[in-house]
Structure 1
Amino acid sequence: MTAIASAMKTPPKLYRYRPLEDALLNRELGALRDSYLYSPPFAAMNDPMEAFYETGGPSDRIINAMLAPTGKRINGMYEMLSEMINRFALVSFAGTHENLPMWAYYGSNFAGMCLEFDAAELAIGDFQNEKLRPVTYARSALPPLTVTDMAPERLEEAVIARITRKRSEWAHEKEWRFVTGEVGPKHYLDDALRRVFLGPRVKPEHAARVCEVLDRRPVEVLQGETRGFELAFRSIKPARPPEECERVGAGRFEPKDIIYKQEELEAFLAGPLDALLDECRRTARRPNLEEIADFDVSGNHKGAVFIWATYRLRSGRDVYHKRYFDRRMRLLPEND
């Protein structure tokens, strides 16, 4: 049976269902407070077939026979491959906050929460060098990895194809996942988290704690309600505007720096230079913005100007990111 991908194009929003049971409440509130998602190992997944793969095929036996006179075998290569795969971890997402089975499975039977992330902003933090991948669903596993798959130009995709594949019974989850190089917390920018949906069965005291933790964040909190067969949400805490949010970064931006590049920038832009300055000021107001490091006409992206910024994560680590704009200061997609 042909594998079914969860989607063809990366969704602009990603959703993560989380429990809010008494025993797990402090853990989940701590993750919200420190703006991170925990990346567990594959062994911790609820599907025992998660990340299933096999190694070795008929061609490998031929290669082993050819190597026999030298006393070498390819088994050692597979042992190293298994050690590498066993270090992988993942963070999973859904494509909607309205998946009722997932509210039941992962959202404390409708008493938990669902986090909504801006996919592009989520990728700026600790996920910056990780590729978001759709999960494929099929009735059967892919064939075993062979020594041919271990060629440098094939290895990564061959491994990823197997650890992002699940049985077709899970296809309703329409899962996306970051496969990370190590287990542990992955921090994100405060404003990458846009909304928190609380289940209709959430305890009032748990809802109050979530609102308290996110009080000075640019995050809206919504309470779920059932209306017949419909699940609806109403806002119980609005998102704070950036100027009212708790700062993580210093927010440094020096408009006077533009004088050194003013002539080139004015020649490039189709509108007034103020549009670039206003975008720099908006960026500087973001809670995690540490510093606007540079802005200029791009030498690598034809027809674009960039703003290069440093962001401070709540782990204390700084990350760097460039955003590109066209001549009218319209944001360009990341892959342009």
Structure 2
Amino acid sequence: MILRRSTVVAWLATVLALLVGLAVPAQAADLGAAQRATAWMGQQSIDDPGKVADALIALAASNDPTQAPVVDRLTTTLKDKGAAYAAGAPEAAAKVAVALEAVGADPRTALGTDLIAAVKNGIASDGSFGSYPGPFASGLAAVALTRADEDVPAALGTNLLTFQGKDGGFSYQAGQPSDADSTALALQALTALGDDASIRKAVAWADQNIQPDGSYAGYNPVNSTAVMASALAATGKNVDASVIYLTSQQQADGSFLNAGTPDVLATAQAALGLSGVSYLDATWSGSPAASGTPSPAGSSTATPAAVPATPAAGWLDPSAWLGSAAALVVVVGAVVVGLRRPSRR
């Protein structure tokens, strides 16, 4: 059978569209586990503005529409109490700004004070940020500004790199050993800045320091693993092992522990890691980001779900797309050769 050239071109366009779709890496996520975590948080009385901000970011990440009343309640609490909290330190202003951005509120006006201006004013001339300068504070600043469509000052990135060790990881203080929490927040700042080279070094550190069970060491491995998984997901990195670890640590009521006790911060950060999104892209829409059937409590099997990652750096894990790219080259080559042959009428 001889195909008309127009038919071949149409077929090629279809194949290209399919292969390009396959080339976008799907991030590991267990939305069922994430939504159980946020359901537990919704049952807690949370009044501290800092914890309210963490809870709202987690709720935005898991995107469970049944939790809409909780999102409304906590947003109201943050609007009532967040201004005083944000005035305490620039990094607090950045955290509240990220939470408001995650639930669709304007951080410039929602609290009657401009939190984005507070973040900008908190960046010193040398690029350091906040009352306690370091990767965690700078990461929050970069995320808050990026989500508000503001440029992240290059000086902030330059200062941030003073905390990066020769091993590629970041520490809370220059000269100290690299740690997962600092590296995770630094990664989100680097992603916002588009610093591909530094991202690769930090990801290499994460690859070298992941534990056999998928966790990362830290003051609480649940928190450290969760923030690292969410930061790596924003780069396109596969985080299956960390998601499986987190699901193995979830309690029957949906919570996560810190020092043997159910903890709001641990549960909020775990929900973020389980959702496969980061501070950069956790966004409340009132509907699930993907259809996830809740996995049984304590399950150690993650349910992969296609969660869009939008890395500002444009750097993706090559293992996620090389196979499709190779197939694309083969198909294009075959069709081009076919089109060059003289057609028989």
Query: TM-score, length-normalised on structure 2?
Result: 0.23
Query: TM-score, length-normalised on structure 1?
Result: 0.24
Higher relative contact order (CA 8 A, sep 6+): 2
User: More helix per residue: 1 or 2?
Assistant: 2
User: More strand per residue: 1 or 2?
Assistant: 1
